[in-house]
Amino acid sequence: MKKNNRRGFQLNEKQLGYAMVLPSLLLVIAVVLWPVAQSFYNSLFDYRLNDPTRSQLMLGSTIDLERYVDNHFYIEGQLETLGSADEELAATATAIQEEIEGYHAELIQDEEMRQKVEKIDEMLASYTPVRDNELKYADLENDFAADYREALTNAQEELDAAAEQAPNEEVASTITQTADLLGATSANILESNFIGLANYGKYLKDSRMWGALGNTAFFTLVTVALELMIGLAVALLINRAFKGRGLVRASVLIPWAIPTAVAAMMWGFLYDGQSGIVAHYMETFNLIPGSSWLLSTADGGMFSIILADVWKTTPYMALLLLAGLQTIPGSLYEASNVDGANKWQQFWGITLPLLKSSVLVALLFRTLDAFRVFDLIYVLTGGGPANATESISVYAYKTLFAQQNFGEGSVLSVIVFLCVALISFIFVKLIGSDLFAGRTK
Amino acid sequence: MNKKAGIGFYVFLVAFVFLVMFPFIWVFLTSIKPVGEIFSSFRWFTTSPTLDSYDAALTNRPLLRYMLNSFVVSGLTTLLSIAFASLTAYAVTRLPIKGKGLILGLVLAASMFPQIAIISPIFNLVTDLGLRNSYLGLVIPYITISLPLAIWILATFFKKIPFELEESAKLDGASPFQTFRKIIFPLAAPGVFTTGILVFIAAWNEYLFALTINSDDMWRTVPVGISMYQSQYSVPWGDISAATVIVTIPIVILVLFFQRRIVSGLTSGSMKE
C-alpha cells in the first residue's frame, strides 16, 4: 500500500479529477462544438454535394485532379483525330494542343502535383475510383487557374465556331466532341466557392425562411403555454393522496416515453380525413368545418401538430411540476389558513413563488425542445400543406438533405442555433445560479 | 397538502387517464379489426377480431429487424455514455477540481444544441469514416444527446451520497479511484441505473440522425422504420396500427417496471433539491 501524506493525496485527487473529466470533454468538443463550428464555416460557402464543381470547400482555386487527368488523357488523341479529319483545322488543333501542353507542363512543374497526377493516372488505368480527397483535389494559384481555364474555354469556342462551317456532318460531330472535351476539362479547374455572408443575405430576404421561423415561434409559444397551464392544473389536482397513483403515473409516462415519430404516425391516423376517429368526432360535434380540415388546411395542420404535441408533453410537464409541488411544506398552507387566506391567495402567495424555479427550469427545457421540433412535423404533415406547418428545422433538413445544398442548409442550421442560444441566454439570466444548485459545491 | 380524494376527484382522474390513453386504445382496437372495417366504419369494437394486420406489419417491412437495430444502438449508446458520464459526474461533484461551473455549463449548453445545427458535419464525418448504415454510425452522433443528459442527471445522484464515506475511505488508505470504484459507484448504482433507462429511452426515440445516417432499410431504427410504412399512394392503417402496438409494448413494459425510477430521474434532472 502506498503511503500518502495529506498533501500528496489532495494532488492525486485533483489529477484524477481532471483525468476523469477529460474523456467526456473531448467527446463533447468532438461531437458537439466542432460540428457547430463546422456548420458555421460551411455556411460561408456555395457548397452543394450534388454538384461536382462545388462539392468541396474551396478557399482558393482548386483542380479536380481525378476528372482532369482523365479528360487530359484523351485531349491529345482527340485533337489528332480532329487534325486528320479536317485539314483546314489541323493547324488550329496543333496550336491548341501546344497551348494545353504548355499549361499542363506548368501544372506538373510542382513536384507534389506531378506525383499526385502520376498516382491518379495509375489508379485511373486500373479503374480505381479516387476516394481520398487529399489526393483528388489540389490547390492552384488563382491567376494560373484563370488563365488555363480561359485558354480551354477559348479553344472550345473556337472549335464550336468552326463546327458550323464544317464540310459534312461527320467532321462537325468530331469538332463538337473535341470542343465538349475541352469544355469539360475547363470545368475541372474550379473557382473558389467561398461567398462569405452572401447566403445569409439571401435567407434574410427569403419569405419561406421567415414563414418557417414564424411557424416555429408560434408553435413554441402556444404549445409551451398550453402545456404549462394544463400541466400545472393537473399537478395541482393530483397533488394529494389517492388510490392508484402508480397506474396514473405509468399511464402519464407512456406518451412521453414512446418515440415522437410513432406518436406522429398514431395521430396521423386519428386525424385522417377518411378513417380518423378524432377528425370524425370533431366533425360530428361541429368543432371543425369538415373531417379533412385537420390535415389539408394551413390552420388545421398547425392545430393538429399543436394538439399532438400537447398530448405527448403535458403529462411530462405535470410530473415535473408535481415533484416541485411536493417540496412545498404543508405547514405554509396551514399557517395561511389560520391567517384567513383563501385558496386563490394561497396559490398566488405561496404555490407560485415557491414553484418559480421548478417552473422556469421546466420551461427552459420545454421551450428549447419545442423550438427544435422536427420529427413530429416531418412525420405528421411533412411541413405541408404548402409549407404552412414547416418549422425551421424541417426547412433546414430539406435544404441540407433533399436539395443536398450544404452551404445554404448550414445557414438555416446556424439560424436555429442562434435562436436556441438566445432563448437559453434569456432563461439562464432569469433562472440565475439556481440552475447549478445542488450539483456543484 | 394531503386533501382527501372524493368521488368527483376519481371521475376527473378516470377522464384524464382515458384522454391520455385514448390514442393507444383506439390504435389497439384498430389493429385487431379486419382491414375492410378500418376504412368503412367508426365502430369501436369489431365483431370479428383478427391478427391479419400484425402478420402484414411483420412481413411487409422488417419490423423485428428495426427493433433489433434500435435495441443494439440504444444499448451501446447507454453503456458508452454511462461509462464516460459517471467519471465526469463524479469528478465534478466530489473531487477538488477547478472550473466545475464551466464544465457543467458546457455540458448543459451541449444538451441544448439543436441537432439540426450539427447534423451536416456529423453526416460528412460518418460518411468519411465509412460508417453509414452501421450501428457505430449512429452511436457516435447519439453521444451528443446522451452524454450531456447522463452527466447532468448523474451529477445529482452522486451529490446525494454522504461525503463522510469518502473521508473514512481516505482514512482507511483507499486511493481516490478506489474510493470511486468500490464505494461511491456501488452506492450510486440505483441512480446510475435510472440514468441508464432515461438515456436508453432518449436514444430509442431519436429520429433525425437515424433518418439521415442509416438510410438502408436493414439498418433503420424503429422510429424511422415506422414512419416509412406510409407510401406515397396508400396508407396501410391496419399495418401501421399493428406495428405501433408492437413497438410500444417494450416501452410500456419498461415504464410499468421502472416508473418510480423514471420519475425520480426526470425530476432530479430538472429540479434542484
List pLDDT tens digits, range B126-181: 998 889 999 999 999 998 889 988 998 888 888 888 888 888 888 888 888 888 88
- Looking at the structure, tell me whether residues B30 and B133 fall in a common domain: no
pLDDT per position as a tens digit, B60-72:
889 999 999 999 9
Phi and psi based region of residue B17 (left: phi greater than 0; alpha: psi -120 to 50; beta: remaining) = alpha
Nearest beta carbon to residue B156 from set A38, A361, A438: A438
What CATH number is associated with residue A76? 1.20.120
Name the closest residue on chain A to residue B44, using Cα atoms. A277
Instruction: Output the average pLDDT for chain B.
Output: 86
Report yes or no on B31 lying in a domain. Answer: yes
Tally of domains within chain B: 2
Average pLDDT for residues A345-361, to the nearest whole number?
83
* Chain A (377-396) residues lying within 8 Å, Cβ to Cβ, of chain B: 378-379, 393, 396
**Chain B residue nearest residue A131, CA to CA:** B128
pLDDT of residue B269: 57
Do A330 and A230 fall within a single domain?
Answer: yes
Q: What is the pLDDT of residue B245?
A: 92
Higher pLDDT residue, A312 or A276? Answer: A312
β A137-139/A62-64 pair status: antiparallel
C-alpha angle A407-A205-A299 in degrees, rounded to nearest 5: 100
| Helix ranges restricted to H, chain B | 7-31, 35-40, 52-60, 63-94, 100-112, 115-128, 135-160, 164-171, 176-178, 185-187, 189-205, 208-213, 222-227, 237-270
Domain identity same for A178 and A214? no
Q: Is residue A5 very low, low, confident or very high in pLDDT (cuts 50, 70, 90)? A: very low
A54 within some domain? no
One domain for residues A178 and A238: no
DSSP A289: S
Q: Which three cell numbers mark A347?
A: 396559490
Q: Are residues A102 and A173 in the same domain?
A: yes
The span from the CA of A193 to the CA of A203, in Å, is 18
Cα separation, B22 vs B227, in Å, equals 21
Counting one residue from chain A and one from chain B, the pairs whose CB atoms sit within 8 A come to 306
Does A405 score more than 80 pLDDT?
Answer: yes
User: Is residue B150 within 8 angstroms of chain A, CB to CB?
Assistant: no
Q: Do B16 and A234 touch (CB under 8 A)?
A: yes
Domain interval for residue A360? 201-436
Are both B209 and B84 inside the same structural domain?
yes
Q: Which of A326, A354, A368, A369 is nearest to B263 (CA)?
A: A326
Judge whether B199 and B144 are in contact, CB under 8 Å: no
* Shared-domain flag, residues A110 and A216: no
Residues B51 and B104 occupy one common structural domain: no
Interface of B with A in 43-82 (CB under 8 A): none
The answer to the question of residue A255 being in a domain is yes
Is residue A392 one of the residues assigned to a domain?
yes
Q: Are residues B43 and B158 in the same domain?
A: no
pLDDT in tens, B212-245: 999 888 999 999 999 888 766 677 888 899 999 9
In this structure, of A10-19, A111-120, A178-187, the range with the lowest mean pLDDT score is A10-19
Query: Which of A169, A190, A211 is a domain's end point?
Result: A190
> Residue B104 pLDDT > 90, yes or no?
no
Q: What's the mean pLDDT in A68-73?
A: 85
Q: Are A176 and A163 in contact (CB under 8 A)?
A: yes
ipTM exceeds 0.95: no
Shared domain check, B26 and B71 = no
**Position B254 in a domain:** no
Going by pLDDT thresholds of 50, 70 and 90, the confidence category of residue B271 is very low
Which of chain A's residues have a Cβ under 8 Å away from the Cβ of B121?
Answer: 34-35, 38-39, 42
Which residue(s) pair with A63 in the sheet?
A138, A189
Cell of B245: 402496438
- Whether the CB of A95 is below 8 Å from some CB of chain B: the reply is no
- The CB density around residue A11, as the number of other CB atoms within 10 Å, is 12
Whether residue B161 sits in one domain with residue B128: yes
Contact B82, B199 (CB under 8 A): yes
Is residue A17 a contact partner of residue A165, using CB atoms and an 8 Å limit? no
Report how far Cα A266 is from the mean position of its chain's Cα atoms: 26
- CB of A129 within 8 Å of a chain B CB? The answer is no
Which residues, 6+ apart, have CB-to-CB distance to A162 below 8 Å?
Answer: A89, A92, A175
Answer whether residue A2 shows pLDDT above 60: no
What amino acid is encoded at B183 in this protein?
I
Residue A420 has pLDDT above 80, yes or no: yes
Q: What residues in A contact B159, CB-CB < 8 Å?
A: 438-439
- Asked if B23's CB is within 8 angstroms of A311's CB, the reply is yes
My answer on whether A272 and A184 are in the same domain is no
Asked if residue A2 belongs to a domain, the reply is no
What is the structure's pLDDT at B232? 64
pLDDT-based confidence at residue B83 (cuts at 50, 70, 90)? very high
The answer to whether A413 touches A39, Cβ cutoff 8 Å, is: yes
Assign residue A359 the CATH number of its domain: 1.10.3720.10
Point out the domain boundary residue: A129, A162, A190: A190
**Nearest to A9, CA basis, from B169, B188, B87, B103:** B169
Q: Is it the case that residue A437 has pLDDT exceeding 70?
A: no
Which chain A residue's Cα is nearest to B198?
A257
Q: How confident is the model at residue A309 (pLDDT cuts 50, 70, 90)?
A: very high
Burial of residue B95 (number of CB atoms within 10 Å: 0-12, 13-18, 19+): buried
Whether residue A343 is found in the same domain as residue A425: yes
* Confidence at residue A335, expressed as pLDDT on a 0 to 100 scale: 86
> In terms of domains, do A225 and A176 share one?
no
Torsion-angle region of A108 (φ positive above 0: left; ψ -120 to 50: alpha; else: beta): alpha
**Residue B80 confidence (pLDDT) above 90:** yes
Cis peptide bond prior to A385, omega within 30° of 0: yes
- Residue A139 in contact with residue A60, Cβ under 8 Å? yes
Among A262, A315, A330, smallest CA distance to B263 is for: A315
Task: List residues bridging with A139 in a β-sheet.
Answer: A62
| Nearest CB to A16; choose among B21, B104, B176 | B176
Query: Which of A190, A217, A239 is at the close of a domain?
Result: A190
Give the closest residue to A305 by CA, choosing from A393, A396, A236, A208: A393
pLDDT of residue A266: 92
Residues A216 and A156 in one domain: no
B251: cell is: 416501452
Please name the member of B39, B108, B116 whose beta carbon is closest to the beta carbon of A274. Answer: B39
**CB-based contacts of A36: which residues, under 8 Å, 6+ apart?**
A417, B113, B117, B118
Q: In the prediction, which pLDDT does B5 show?
A: 63
Least confident of A390-399, B4-13, B203-212: B4-13
Determine, yes or no, domain membership for B267: no
Element housing A87 (H / E): helix A87-107
Q: Tell me the CB-side half-sphere exposure of residue B88, using CA atoms within 13 A.
A: 30
230-269 in chain B: CB under 8 A from chain A: 230, 235, 237, 240-241, 244, 247-248, 251-252, 254-256, 259-260, 262-263, 266-267
Q: Are residues B208 and B88 in the same domain?
A: yes
Instruction: Using only the alpha carbons of chain A, give its radius of gyration.
Output: 33
C-alpha cell at B92: 465534478
Say how many CA atoms lie within 13 Å of A238 toward its Cβ.
29
Number of domains chain A is built from = 2
* In a domain? residue A322: yes
Which of the four pLDDT bands, split at 50, 70 and 90, describes residue A436? low
Secondary structure of residue B99 in the 3-state scheme: coil
Inside any domain, residue A134:
yes
| In contact, B219 and B133? CB cutoff 8 Å | yes
Give the domain extent around B140: 62-220
Residue of B112, B226, B256, B273 to mutate when probing chain A, most A C-beta within 10 A: B112
A63: DSSP letter: E
Whether residues A266 and A359 share a domain: the answer is: yes
Q: Are residues A179 and A254 in the same domain?
A: no
The reply to whether B100 and B174 lie within a common domain is yes
Taking residues A50-76, report their average pLDDT: 83
- Whether B262 maps to a domain, the answer reads no
Is residue B239 included in any domain, yes or no?
A: yes
- Alpha carbon distance A110, A113 (integer Å): 5
Q: Is residue B76 part of a domain?
A: yes
Asked if B29 and B125 sit in the same domain, the reply is no
Residues B85 and B174 in one domain: yes
**Mean pLDDT score of chain A:** 84
Which residues in chain B (202-221) have CB-CB distances under 8 A to chain A? Answer: 204-205, 207-208, 212
Same domain, yes or no: B83 and B139:
yes
**Any residues with CB less than 8 A from the CB of B192 and at least 6 apart, and which?**
B82, B86, B154, B157, B185
Q: Is the pLDDT of residue A6 over 50?
A: no
Q: How far is CA A321 from the centre of its chain?
A: 33
Question: How far is the first Cα of chain B from the last one, in angstroms, to the nearest whole number?
Answer: 19
Task: Indicate whether B75 and B139 sit together in one domain.
Answer: yes
Residues A380 and A407 in one domain: yes
Three-state SS for A35-56 is HHHHHHHHCCECCECCCCCCCC
- Residues of B within 8 A of A2 (CB-CB) are 175
Is pLDDT larger for residue A12 or for residue B16? B16
d(CA B49, nearest CA chain A) in Å: 18
Q: Chain B contacts of A395, Cβ < 8 Å? A: none
Q: State the DSSP H helix or E strand holding residue A256, giving kind and residue range, or none if neither.
A: helix A245-257
pLDDT at res. A362: 83
Report CB contact under 8 Å: B230, A268. yes
CATH number, domain of B191, equals: 1.10.3720.10
Residues of B in contact with A38 (CB under 8 A): 120-121
Residue among B41, B18, B14 nearest B30 (CA): B41
Q: Considering the domain boundaries, does residue A53 fall inside one?
A: no
- Are the beta carbons of B116 and A372 separated by less than 8 Å? yes
Residues of B in contact with A241 (CB under 8 A): 2, 4-5
Asked if residue A115 belongs to a domain, the reply is yes
